[in-house]
Structure formats: structure tokens, C-alpha cells
């Protein structure tokens, strides 16, 4: 959830407070592998106790009582974001505004160019959505899609879903060239492989049956 920026009116239940937002940045970095020493872990626990007293707390209402403590939290959040920024996937960058977002890098001269970045510049090419899809396994088989939609599948095999995305990428290149956008089509050799999520669906015995 996005946070109110410092100086903005708070929006309880709709946006986190700035302190809650700073705490989230630290938490995101920890989830993605950032390690803290013992003193830092203790300080995070103390911040957590003040900002998240219960699992059912309402967001957007909790702030740190001590301004110096709040500034220390903001400093640690900035350190955590710097750690995140150094680890953005190739072709992407982390952006921190009211929350931390992973955005495609618009540099067409980069060593790796995200298909998402090309798609934003391409406008209404009809192959865009599937060309940007990732592959995951669901209850019915392998699918290609985004965070909320299934755009192709289900397929029996992972490589069939990957192939559907690769064909969409090829169509996108053709559409770009037909539209005179060789600047975009020419980046295709530097697009990353089709992202494939780990197969966690069949990781439990009950799901493994009939795999």
C-alpha cells in the first residue's frame, strides 16, 4: 500500500503514514535478502512494536512518537532502498515515491532492454500484453499471463507456454517494423528470456497427485 508523503495529510485506512512507509521499505529489502546485524534487528523490532502493535492494526494511523527516532527510521529506509536499487533485475530499476515500484528502464541502448519498456513506447500493438507475459503453473497447467490475467493457456508443458510468449514477441517485432519503429524492434536481441516462475504448485503431496 502506498504511503502519504511527509507533510501530506494522513489518510487512515487508505495510505500508510510516512513512518509506516519507511518501515515497509526496510521490510521489502529484508524479504529480498538484506541481512541486518543484531543491533539493527533489535531496532527494527522496536519500530515494529510501535508501528504495528497487532496484526489487525489499521494502517495510516501509527507514527513514531520520537522525531529523532522517526528520522533514524527514514535514514535506515534510505539505506535499504540503496541496497534494493543495486539489485534491480537487468532492464529494470526500483523507483521510490509513495511506495517502491519496479519499473522498466527506458534506456534503449542498455545491455538488457525489458520488453515492458518497449511495450510502453509501442503504444497499441496488439501483441504487447502477451509479449510481456511471464509463465507460471496453475491448477489447470502452465499459463502465460501477468499478475492478474491469464493471456494464454493452460498448456500441458512449460515450454508450450514459453513458446506462446516467444511467438507474441516475434509478432510484436513484426508490428514494430511495419510501423516504422526499427528503434524498438532492433532491441529484440537484447530482451531477457521469458520469465518462468518456480513450479510451487506441485510442491505438496496433495497437489503432486495427478501432476
Which residue among 101, 117, 136 closes a domain? Answer: 101
Co-location of 84 and 165 in the same domain: no
Q: Determine the structural domain holding residue 73 and report its residue range.
A: 18-101
List the one residue out of 60, 59, 29, 57 whose CA is nearest residue 44. 29
Quick check: is 87 in a domain?
A: yes
Quick check: is 10 in a domain?
A: no
Of the given ranges (45-59, 89-103, 136-150), which has the lowest mean pLDDT? 45-59
Write the burial class of residue 195 (CB in 10 Å: 0-12 exposed, 13-18 middle, 19+ buried). Answer: middle
Quick check: is 12 in a domain?
A: no
The whole-angstrom separation of Cα 204 and Cα 150 is 23
The whole-angstrom separation of Cα 17 and Cα 98 is 10
Quickly state the pLDDT bin for 200 (edges 50, 70, 90): low
Quick check: is 8 in a domain?
A: no
What's the total number of domains in the chain? Answer: 2
The whole-angstrom separation of Cα 122 and Cα 141 is 31
Residue 55 in contact with residue 72, Cβ under 8 Å?
Answer: no
Quick check: is 13 in a domain?
A: no
- pLDDT for 157 equals 94
Co-location of 171 and 196 in the same domain: yes
Of the given ranges (139-148, 163-172, 183-192), which has the lowest mean pLDDT? 139-148
Dihedral, 142, 176, 182, 191 alpha carbons, nearest 10: -10
Which residue among 74, 101, 128 closes a domain? Answer: 101
Co-location of 29 and 93 in the same domain: yes
Query: Above 60 in pLDDT, residue 179?
Result: yes
Tens of pLDDT, residue by residue over 4-39, are 888 888 888 889 999 999 999 999 999 999 999 999
What grid cell was written down for 128?
504487447
Co-location of 199 and 125 in the same domain: yes
Which residue among 83, 101, 119 closes a domain? Answer: 101
Co-location of 59 and 76 in the same domain: yes
Amino acid at each position: 500500500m502506498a504511503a502519504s508523503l511527509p507533510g501530506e495529510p494522513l489518510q487512515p485506512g487508505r495510505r500508510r503514514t510516512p513512518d509506516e512507509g519507511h518501515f515497509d521499505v526496510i521490510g521489502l529489502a529484508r524479504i529480498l535478502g538484506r541481512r541486518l546485524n543484531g543491533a539493527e534487528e533489535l531496532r527494527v523490532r522496536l519500530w515494529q512494536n510501535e508501528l504495528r502493535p497487532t496484526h489487525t492494526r489499521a494502517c495510516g494511523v501509527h507514527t513514531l512518537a520520537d522525531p529523532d527516532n522517526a528520522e533514524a527510521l527514514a535514514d535506515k529506509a534510505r539505506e535499504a532502498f540503496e541496497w534494493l536499487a543495486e539489485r534491480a533485475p537487468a532492464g529494470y530499476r526500483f523507483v521510490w515515491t509513495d511506495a517502491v515500484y519496479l519499473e522498466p528502464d527506458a534506456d534503449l541502448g542498455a545491455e538488457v532492454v525489458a520488453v515492458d519498456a518497449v511495450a510502453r513506447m509501442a503504444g497499441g500493438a496488439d501483441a504487447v500484453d502477451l509479449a510481456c507475459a511471464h509463465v507460471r503453473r496453475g491448477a489447470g497447467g502452465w499459463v502465460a499471463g501477468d499478475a492478474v490475467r491469464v493471456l494464454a493457456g493452460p498448456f500441458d508443458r512449460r515450454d508450450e507456454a514459453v513458446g506462446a510468449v516467444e511467438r507474441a514477441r516475434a509478432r510484436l517485432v513484426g508490428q514494430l517494423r511495419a510501423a516504422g519503429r526499427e528503434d524498438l524492434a532492433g532491441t529484440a536481441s537484447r530482451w531477457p528470456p521469458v520469465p518462468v516462475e518456480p513450479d510451487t504448485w506441485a510442491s505438496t503431496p496433495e497437489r503432486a497427485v495427478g501432476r
